[in-house]
Chains A and B, each alone.
Chain A
Amino acid sequence: MKPQFATNFPAVDARFDKGDRVRVRKTAPLGHIRTPFYIRGHVGEIERFCGSFPNPEELAQMRDGLPAQPLYRVRFKQKEVWPDYKGPDSDVVEIEIYQHWLEKA
């Protein structure tokens, strides 16, 4: 899948394609984590491959964050994320999540 933004960093291979179902890893390591707590453990669908970028968790510790991690925009159904959600079934929340936080669902 072509990335939305091409980058030149040495990068981990992109493992997911548009439409793939992925589960967000449910874990809470120490440090700077960009994956919101509320979405961990939930299943969504790859909406796009944004590009590969240095791992922010490593950058936050003053390292270079390489190899770069593929970043995806993942689409989740609001009704599945929030059990008491009152809006229509078609409502979604989209979150940009790095590959190392995702597993095939």
Chain B
Amino acid sequence: MIERSHHDMGGQPGGKVEPTEHDYADWERRVDAMAVILFGVFTGKRRITVDEHRKNIEALPPEAYDKLTYYEKWISALTQTLIQRGIITTEELGRKMEEVARRKK
């Protein structure tokens, strides 16, 4: 079966490109920093590879792939990768999400 993956869009009609200037939100800077640490860019201590990260971005369902922003894709993929690597557990992630949700109230 020869089938194009959703993310592999080269040559597909994509509409007009509208460049806009924007600054990054604090959470986006944190996601970027976390990736740089996990890739071991400055320390050489690599915990995950950029290829695992990309695989998990590319594995997003097509609807999510189209809808999520750049760093939303990153945080989704990084979370998957950390679980797959055993660096965090789903239990820890779930508990932290509850804690943060409570903080907002």
Contact = CB atoms under 8 A, between A and B. Distances in A.
A6 interface: no
Interface in A53-71: 56-57, 59-62
Main secondary structure of the interface of B (DSSP, over half): loop
A31 B10 contact: no
A60 B51 contact: yes
Interface string B34-60: 000000000000000101101100100
Contact of B1 (A28, A31, A82): A28
Q: Range of interface residues on chain A?
A: 10 to 19
A5 interface: no
Contacts of B55: 31-32, 60-61
A27 B3 CA distance: 8
B29 interface: no
A26 B2 contact: yes
Given A37-B4, A37-B5, A60-B49, A32 B10 contact: no
B15 interface: no
A88 interface: no
Interface of A: 26-28, 31-33, 36-40, 56-57, 59-62, 82
Interface of B: 1-5, 8, 10-11, 49, 51-52, 54-55, 58, 84-85
19 contacts: A26-B2, A28-B1, A28-B4, A32-B52, A32-B54, A33-B5, A37-B10, A37-B11, A38-B10, A38-B11, A39-B10, A56-B51, A57-B51, A59-B51, A59-B52, A60-B49, A62-B52, A62-B84, A62-B85
